[in-house]
Structure 1
Amino acid sequence: MSDMTQIFSEFLGTAMLILLGSGVCAAVNLEKSKAQASGWIVIAMGWATAVTIAVYASSFMGPAHLNPAVTIGMAIAGSFSWNLVAPFILAQVLGAIVGATLVWLAYLPHWEETKDQGAILGTFATGPAIRKPAVNAITEIIGTFVLVFALLAFGQTTFADGTNPMVVGILILAIGLSLGGPTGYAINPARDLGPRIAHQLLPIKNKGTSDWAYSWVPIVGPIVGGVLAALLFNVLPI
C-alpha cells in the first residue's frame, strides 16, 4: 500500500474507533439515552468491540495502529518506519476529532437534556476517578505497556486468517476491565486529545470546561508506556 493510503487508513480507522467508542460513552452518560446508566461493563465491551471493528475497517489499507503510542512503540521496536510516525499521529488525531464530532451529531438532542457537565466531558475525554495526576499517569503507563507489549507479542504468533482484530479486541477488553477503573483507560493519546479538542470547539449544549489541566496525563502516560514496552521487547531473546 502507498504511504498516503496507509495514512488515510489511520484517519478512517481512528474516526471509526472514536465514533463507536465515544458513542458507547454517550449512550451510557447522556440523559434519555436508552442505554443510560448501563455501567462500566457496557463501556468496556463497547470500546473492545469498537477497536475490533475499527481494525477490521482499516487494516486492509494499513497496519491499523489507530494510536500514537502504538505507532511510536512499533517504530522503536523496528516494525514501522520512522518517516511515517508524524503523519500517522496527525491522521489519528484528526480522525479522532471527526469521530467525536459524529458522536455529537448522533446524540444531538441529548446534550440539551443532560445538565451534568462531567457526564458530557466524559463522553469525549477521559478523567480520573481520584484526581492525582502523577499516579493517574502511572496507571496510563501500565495500561499502555500491556497494550503495546501484547501487540508486539502477537506479531510473533500466527493467528487464523482474519482473527487478529478479535484478539486485539479481547486485549482492549482485558485492559478496560482490569486497569480502566482509575482513569477510564485512555491508553491512546489520540483517543483523548482528538475528542477533547472536539469538546472545546463544538457548540455542545450545557458543556463546561474541557479540563486541559489534566490532558497531559492521557498523552504522556500512554507514550511512556508504549516506549517502555518496545524497549523491553527489543532486549528479549527472540
Structure 2
Amino acid sequence: MLGTIFLSETVGTAMLLLLGGGVVANNILPRNKGAGTGFLHVNFGWGLAVFAGVLVSYASGGHINPAVTLGILASGATQYVEGVPVDAVSTLTYISAQMLGAFIGAVLCWLAYKKQFDDEAPAGAKLGVFATGPEIRNPLWNLVTEAIATFVLVFVVLSASAGRFFGATPVVNLGWLGALGVALLVVGIGISLGGPTGYAINPARDLGPRIAHAVLPIPNKGGSDWSYAWIPVVGPIIGGVLAGVLARVLLPMGL
C-alpha cells in the first residue's frame, strides 16, 4: 500500500511542478508565446497545476505538499487514506515522494523549455522558474508571509474535508469538485497573498526544483539562492502545522 502512496504522490507532485513551473517559464523566459502575460496568468496557471496534481494523485489523497501532510498529522486524523494510518513511516513516505516528484517535475519543465533556458535570459529569471524569491528580502517577514498563506491553504482544505475528517476516506481529495475547489483556493491565495514572496506554500514545490536548478546544466544560470531556501520550507511547515492544530480544536465539533 505504501508503494502505491509513494508512486501516487510522486506523480501528482511532478504534475504540479511541470505545469506550475511551465506557466512561470512561459511568462518570464524570452521568446515564448506567453511572455509578459503577467502575474494573474501565473496565479491561474498554478491553480490549474494544483487541479491536475490533485486529480492524478487520487490514490494517496492528493496531498502533493508536505505542509498538507503535516497539517493532517497535526489535526489528529487517524488515516491519510483508507488502510494508511497516520504514523511516522507513512508520513515520511508522503514527504519523500513529494520531494522526489517536485524534482522530477522541475526537470521535465526544463526539458520542455530547454531552448528558452539556453537562450539569453537573466539568471534571476531562470531561477524564478524553479524557486520562489521575495520582492523585499526580510527573513522574518518573508517567513511570516509564507506561514500565513500556507495556514490559509491547509486550514481551508481541512475545513472543506471536515465531514470525513477522521474517517477512512481521503482527507484532501474529494474528486473533481474537491480538486477544483483546491485549485480555486490556490488562485485566491496567489492573488491575495502571493505578492511579497511568490507564495511557495509548499516546501517540496520550492526545495525540489531549487535542487534541480543547482544540478541541471543550464547556461549562465547563476546561483540557487540557498541563503533564502529555508524560508519557503520552514514557513509553510509552520503554517500547515498551526492549521492542523486549530482544525483539531474546531472542526471535530461539527462532525
TM-aligned CA deviation for residue 196 of structure 1: 0.0
Give the conservation status (yes or no) of the 8 Å contact 2:21–2:106: yes
Letter in 1 for 2:75: A
Cα-Cα RMSD: 1.4
Give the conservation status (yes or no) of the 8 Å contact 2:55–2:175: no
SS at match of 2:195: coil
Q: Equivalent residue for 1:154? A: 160
**CA deviation digits over 1:89-115, x for unaligned, max 9?**
111011101000001100011112233
TM-score, scaled to structure 1: 0.96
TM-aligned CA deviation for residue 41 of structure 1: 0.5
SS at match of 2:64: coil
> Cα–Cα, structure 1 residues 153 and 108, in superposed 2: closer, same or farther, change >3 Å?
same
**CA deviation digits over 1:15-60, x for unaligned, max 9?**
000000001011001000111111000100000000001111111x
Q: Equivalent residue for 2:30? A: 31
Give the conservation status (yes or no) of the 8 Å contact 1:145–1:228: yes
Select between 99-108 and 110-119 the one with higher mean Cα deviation: 110-119
Query: Which residue of 209, 225, 237 corresponds with 1:223?
Result: 237
Unaligned runs of 5+ in 2: 81-85, 165-172
**2:182 matched to 1:171?**
no
**2:131 matched to 1:133?**
no
Rounded to whole Å, the distance in 2 between the matches of 1:99 and 1:218 is: 18
SS at match of 2:208: helix
Rounded to whole Å, the distance in 1 between the matches of 2:226 and 2:61 is: 31
Query: Which residue of 216, 234, 237 corresponds with 2:248?
Result: 234
Rounded to whole Å, the distance in 1 between the matches of 2:120 and 2:103 is: 21
Q: Equivalent residue for 1:122? A: 128
Letter in 1 for 2:161: G
TM-aligned CA deviation for residue 160 of structure 1: 8.4
Q: Equivalent residue for 1:102? A: 108
Q: How does 1:61-72 map to 2 (within 5 A)?
A: 61-72=59-70
Select between 77-86 and 133-142 the one with higher mean Cα deviation: 77-86
Letter in 2 for 1:109: K
Give the conservation status (yes or no) of the 8 Å contact 1:114–1:120: no
Letter in 2 for 1:56: L
Q: Equivalent residue for 1:197? A: 211
TM-score, scaled to structure 2: 0.90
Aligned identity (percent) is 50
Rounded to whole Å, the distance in 2 between the matches of 1:127 and 1:114 is: 21
Letter in 2 for 1:38: T
Rounded to whole Å, the distance in 2 between the matches of 1:167 and 1:193 is: 25
TM-aligned CA deviation for residue 194 of structure 1: 0.4
> Cα–Cα, structure 1 residues 33 and 161, in superposed 2: closer, same or farther, change >3 Å?
closer
Unaligned runs of 5+ in 1: none
Q: How many residues are paired up? A: 236
SS at match of 1:205: coil
TM-aligned CA deviation for residue 233 of structure 1: 1.1
TM-aligned CA deviation for residue 157 of structure 1: 5.2
Q: How does 1:1-40 map to 2 (within 5 A)?
A: 2-40=1-39
